[in-house]
Amino acid sequence: MFQYALARRRAEDLKAPFKLDITGFENQPSIETKRDYQLHHFNIIENFATPEEIRKIKYPWGFFSKLKKAVMGKILRHQHIGYEAEILKKKGDVYLDGYWHNEKYFQSIRSILEWEFSLKEPLSEAGERAAAEIKAAGASGKSAVSLHVRRGDYASDPATHKYHGLMTTEYYGGAIEIIKSRVGDIKVFVFSDEIEWVKEHIPLKDEHYFVTNPKIPFYEEVYLMSLCEHNIIANSSFSWWAAWLNQNPNKIVVAPKKWLAKTGNDYYHEIPDSWIKI
C-alpha cells in the first residue's frame, strides 16, 4: 500500500500513467513470510508492467545495472530508510524500489487514496456484523477503539522477532488509558493474527469485541479498523494504514514510539506528527 501510494502520487503530479511490478510475489525468499498480491480487493488503478517494461526501466544496462543495484544496496542499506523529498522531484520513467513508509510521500493525494483503498466488494456477512457492532458503540455513547495485536512471525521466527519485536501488554494497557482519559467510555474492538493469544494474555477491563475470525478476510479488517473512532496500532503497516484511513477528524491514534526492536533503526518508519507515541 505504501508503494502504491507513492507511485499514485507521482503519477498524479506528472499526469502520467504508472504500472505495478508484482513479480516479487512470485520470487519471495524462502526465509520470509509468504505474501500474496491482494490490492485487487480495493478500488485501485491496476495496470501491471510486463517483464520487458520492468527490464527496460529497472535494468537499462543489463548485467551492469544489476551489479550497481547490488553494490549500492549494500552501501545505502541504512541510509535510505527515512523520508527522501528528492524522490518527489524525479521526472521521466522511473522504477520506485523501496518501502516508502512515510505519509509525506502521499499526504497531498489523501482524498484519492481514501477512495482507491476502499473495498471493491460488499462486506462479508461476518464483516457486516462487526461493522454493525462498531456503529452501535457510538449509538450507545461509547467511543469505538480498534486495538491491533501483531504476532505471527514476529513471535514465532527468532530472526524476525529480534528485528521487529512485539508490543507488550503494558503498551496496550497504557494506550487504552490514554484514550479513555480523553474520550471517556470506550468499547474496544480487537484485531489480531493470533486472537486466541490475545484473549488469554491481554486483560481488557472495558467492554470489548473480538473482531478477527476466519470468516472475515484481512482486507475487510483494514476497513473495519478504520471505521472505529480511535485506533491503537501495533508496529505493523497493517494497522498503520487502518488508522491513516480513519476519516474521523478528531481521531486519536496511539502508536509505538519504538517501531523496531533492532537498535539503531528507530527512524525506519515515521509516525504522523498528530499521532501519540508511547
Domains in the chain (CATH in brackets) are: 2-116 (no CATH), 125-277 (3.40.50)
pLDDT-based confidence at residue 266 (cuts at 50, 70, 90): low
pLDDT in the model for residue 34: 74
pLDDT-based confidence at residue 161 (cuts at 50, 70, 90): confident
Per cent of the chain over pLDDT 90 is 71
Closest among 225, 37, 18, 24 to 112, alpha carbons compared: 18
pLDDT-based confidence at residue 78 (cuts at 50, 70, 90): very low
109-132: burial string, b at 16+ Cβ within 10 Å, e else: beeebeebbeeeeebeeebebbbe
Cell of 135: 456503529
Q: Is the pLDDT of residue 255 over 90?
A: yes
For the chain, what is the largest distance between any 2 Cα atoms, rounded to a whole number of angstroms? 64
Q: Can you tell me the distance from the alpha carbon of 43 to that of 112, in angstroms, rounded to the nearest whole number?
A: 10
> 57 vs 74, 219, 272, CA distance in Å?
21, 31, 32
Q: Is the pLDDT of residue 178 over 60?
A: yes
More confident residue, 31 or 137: 137
Identify the burial level of 160 via C-beta atoms within 10 angstroms of its C-beta, where 0-12 means exposed, 13-18 middle and 19 or more buried: middle
pLDDT in the model for residue 274: 96
pLDDT in the model for residue 3: 95
pLDDT in the model for residue 24: 84
Closest among 133, 142, 136, 138 to 180, alpha carbons compared: 142
Q: Is the pLDDT of residue 201 over 80?
A: yes
pLDDT in the model for residue 172: 97
Q: Can you tell me the distance from the alpha carbon of 151 to that of 192, in angstroms, rounded to the nearest whole number?
A: 7
pLDDT in the model for residue 14: 95
More confident residue, 199 or 166: 199
pLDDT in the model for residue 58: 82
